[in-house]
Chain A
Amino acid sequence: SQQGEEDPQALSIQEGENATMNCSYKTSINNLQWYRQNSGRGLVHLILIRSNEREKHSGRLRVTLDTSKKSSSLLITASRAADTASYFCATDAAAAGNKLTFGGGTRVLVKP
Chain B
Amino acid sequence: DAGVIQSPRHEVTEMGQEVTLRCKPISGHDYLFWYRQTMMRGLELLIYFNNNVPIDDSGMPEDRFSAKMPNASFSTLKIQPSEPRDSAVYFCASTSWGQPQHFGDGTRLSIL
Interface-located stretch among A11-19, A41-49, A62-70, A77-85: A41-49
A45 lies within 8 A of B42 (CB): no
B97 lies within 8 A of A98 (CB): yes
> Per a CB cutoff under 8 Å, which of A2, A42, A99 touches B106?
A42
B98 lies within 8 A of A45 (CB): no
A42 lies within 8 A of B4 (CB): yes
**Number of contacting residues on B, CB 8 A?**
22
Q: Interface of chain B, helix or strand or loop or mixed?
A: strand
Cβ contacts B97-110/A at 8 Å (1 or 0 each): 11011111110000
- Decide yes or no whether A97 CB sits under 8 A from chain B: yes
B100 lies within 8 A of A105 (CB): no
Expressed in whole angstroms, the minimum distance between the Cβ of A103 and any Cβ of chain B is 8
CA–CA, A52 and B4, complex, Å: 30
* Residues of chain B lying within 8 A (CB to CB) of residue A35: 103
- Decide yes or no whether A102 CB sits under 8 A from chain B: yes
B42 lies within 8 A of A2 (CB): yes
- Decide yes or no whether B45 CB sits under 8 A from chain A: yes
CA–CA, A35 and B102, complex, Å: 10
B56 lies within 8 A of A45 (CB): no
> Per a CB cutoff under 8 Å, which of B50, B98, B100, B104 touches A42?
B104
**Number of contacting residues on A, CB 8 A?**
20
> Per a CB cutoff under 8 Å, which of A41, A45, A99, A102 touches B100?
A45
With A97-B55, A98-B31, A102-B42 known as contacts, the answer to whether A33 contacts B100 (CB < 8 A) is: yes
CA–CA, A103 and B31, complex, Å: 21
- Decide yes or no whether A101 CB sits under 8 A from chain B: yes
A43 lies within 8 A of B45 (CB): no
9 CB contacts below 8 A, A to B, read A2-B42, A41-B105, A41-B106, A42-B93, A42-B103, A45-B102, A98-B95, A99-B48, A99-B56
